[in-house]
């Protein structure tokens, strides 16, 4: 297997972008990534997207995006794994370059969620359609069930739990305020979260990631090509993916994301490192409780311990393990299919030392964790700068 590097990154602004469409978003991010990489040809392309069919009445994204990128006859694949579509697309692009089958591969993710479609209904297709969505459960509802199970399992009083959870959103908005591409750049307080409207008890509006339009792209190449480009070489040193029960009721422990633990173990084993070797993390905070559970499953905290992470300041830029320096899904925004690729973009910017106000000093290794559904699929990547 060849060593693989990320040689180019690009993303659109994330937000409520009524004046653009699915294809334009993707092509904008792709052109930025190609320009950053300094390459003019591609061997293949992967497009991560969850549900353009429901949002934009458009499938067949491989052909559409290759066509509009001006890449005639390019082999192109659309990858779907709910909100982990982007991360999984990145893994497949990585595998293709590592295998020697292709040299220059573009991996992108895109979602256009503001189209007039019922977003809650469209997203619910990532759950078990016949035994979950059929009953009226929503994604905030599924993560709220995880939150209640967590609070009960670790015997945390409601008021304390609620306040500590709010700190996750406060921290991610603080980080997002420093990111020009973030959907929400305003800082918020614990009271902003606690006074926001209830969405699914105990989660409130400001515990939830927003509805977002956006795209992100990266270009992959073998390390020997990356070394000729005169930029810091950011290598992919670990990649792990896993799946678990699609229905929350069928997981052994509702407060534990076994899928993240399994994907992370594979990525750590491949990179031959442990959690303590990681300098920063971009993880899937689709809801505040998800950031807590993911930090534990990635091995950064003991079970029941990560509820204190943002509250204690550990996960702020400047803390002992900066988490979601981009603002995370909460503040940067969550165009579902694009999220996994946008996480890679942030890690690469950080490892190159290009993250401006958000820069984590001396960052050498970053981890990106992307998740599908209520924890039915997850992808973990570890990147390192030479």
Partner 1 sequence: MLTPRVYTEIPQRYRLEANKCKACGKVFFPPRLVCTCGSQDFEPYRLPTRGKIVTYTVVRTPGFVFKLQKPIVLAIVELEDGTRIMAQVTDLPPVVEDYSEIIKIGAEVELVFRKIFSEQEAGIHVYGYKCRLI
Q: Give the three-class secondary structure for 207.
A: helix
Q: Measured from the CB of residue 136, what is the shortest distance to partner 1 in angstroms?
A: 4
Per the annotation, the verdict on 83 as an active-site residue is: yes
Q: Within 115-154, which residues bind partner 1 (CB under 8 A)?
A: 118, 120-121, 124, 130-138, 140-141, 144-146, 148-149, 152
Compute the distance between CA of residue 383 and CA of residue 235 in angstroms, rounded to an integer.
6
> What one-character-per-residue DSSP string does 243-298 give?
E--SSGGGSS-TTS-HHHHHHHHHHHHHHT--GGG--EEE---SBHHHHHHHHHHT
Residue 195 sits in the site that holds partner 1 (CB under 8 A): no
Residues contacting 169, CB < 8 A, separation 6+: 188, 193, 206, 207, 288, 330
Q: Which is nearer to partner 1, 120 or 359 (CB)?
A: 120
Max Cα–Cα distance, the chain, nearest Å: 59
Compute the distance between CA of residue 137 and CA of residue 374 in angstroms, rounded to an integer.
11
- Strand 76-79 with 44-48, pairing: parallel
Q: Which is nearer to partner 1, 60 or 152 (CB)?
A: 152
End-to-end alpha-carbon separation of the chain, Å?
19
Q: Measured from the CB of residue 141, what is the shortest distance to partner 1 in angstroms?
A: 4
Q: Measured from the CB of residue 256, what is the shortest distance to partner 1 in angstroms?
A: 13
Which span (4-12, 192-200, 288-296, 325-333) binds partner 1, by CB under 8 A? 192-200
Compute the distance between CA of residue 322 and CA of residue 326 in angstroms, rounded to an integer.
10
Q: Per-residue string for binding with partner 1, 230-259, x by CB under 8 A?
A: -----------------xxxx---x-----
Q: Within 286-325, which residues bind partner 1 (CB under 8 A)?
A: none
Q: Per-residue string for binding with partner 1, 152-181, x by CB under 8 A?
A: x-----x-----------------------
**373-214-38-279 Cα dihedral, nearest 10 degrees:** -50
The sign of the CA dihedral 300, 305, 311, 312 is negative
Q: Which is nearer to partner 1, 61 or 200 (CB)?
A: 200
Q: Which is nearer to partner 1, 19 or 197 (CB)?
A: 197
Q: Within 89-118, which residues bind partner 1 (CB under 8 A)?
A: 118
- Joined tokens for residue 91: 């893994």
Which member of 49, 83, 208, 217 is catalytic? 83
Per the annotation, the verdict on 152 as an active-site residue is: no
Q: Measured from the CB of residue 31, what is the shortest distance to partner 1 in angstroms?
A: 36
Which residues carry out catalysis? 83, 334
**Which residues lie near partner 1 (CB under 8 A)?**
118, 120-121, 124, 130-138, 140-141, 144-146, 148-149, 152, 158, 197-201, 203, 247-250, 254
């Amino acid at each position: 297997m060849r060593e693989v590097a990320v040689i180019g990154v690009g993303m659109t602004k994330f937000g409520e972008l009524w004046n653009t469409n699915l294809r334009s978003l993707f092509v904008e991010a792709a052109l930025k990534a190609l320009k950053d990489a300094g390459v003019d040809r591609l061997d293949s392309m992967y497009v991560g997207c969850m549900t353009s069919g429901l949002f934009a009445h458009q499938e067949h994204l491989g052909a559409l995006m290759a066509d509009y990128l001006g890449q005639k006859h390019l082999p192109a694949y659309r990858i779907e794994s709910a909100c982990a579509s982007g991360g999984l697309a990145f893994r497949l692009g990585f595998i293709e370059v590592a295998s020697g089958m292709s040299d220059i591969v573009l991996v992108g993710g895109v979602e256009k969620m503001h189209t007039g479609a019922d977003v809650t209904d469209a997203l619910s297709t990532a759950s078990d359609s016949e035994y979950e969505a059929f009953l009226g459960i929503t994604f905030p509802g599924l993560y709220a069930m995880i939150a209640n199970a967590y609070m009960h399992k670790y015997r945390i009083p409601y008021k304390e739990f609620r306040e500590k959870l709010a700190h996750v959103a406060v921290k991610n908005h603080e980080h997002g305020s420093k990111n020009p591409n973030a959907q929400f750049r305003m800082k918020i307080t614990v009271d902003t979260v606690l006074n926001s409207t209830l969405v699914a008890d105990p989660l409130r509006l400001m515990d939830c990631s927003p509805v977002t339009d956006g795209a992100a792209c990266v270009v992959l190449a073998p390390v020997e090509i990356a070394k000729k480009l005169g930029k810091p070489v950011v290598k992919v040193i670990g990649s792990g993916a896993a799946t678990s029960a699609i229905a929350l009721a069928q997981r052994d422990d509702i407060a534990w994301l076994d899928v993240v633990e399994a994907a992370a173990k594979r990525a750590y084993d491949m990179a031959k490192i442990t959690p303590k070797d990681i300098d920063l993390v971009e993880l899937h905070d689709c809801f505040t409780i998800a950031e807590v559970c993911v930090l534990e499953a990635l091995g950064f905290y003991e079970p029941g311990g990560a509820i204190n992470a943002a509250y204690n300041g550990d996960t702020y830029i400047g803390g002992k393990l900066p988490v979601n320096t981009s603002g995370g899904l909460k503040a940067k925004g969550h165009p579902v299919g694009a999220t996994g690729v946008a996480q890679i973009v942030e890690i690469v910017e950080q490892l190159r030392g290009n993250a401006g106000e958000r820069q984590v000093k001396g960052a050498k290794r970053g981890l990106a964790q992307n998740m599908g559904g209520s924890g039915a699929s997850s992808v973990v990547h570890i990147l390192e700068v030479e």
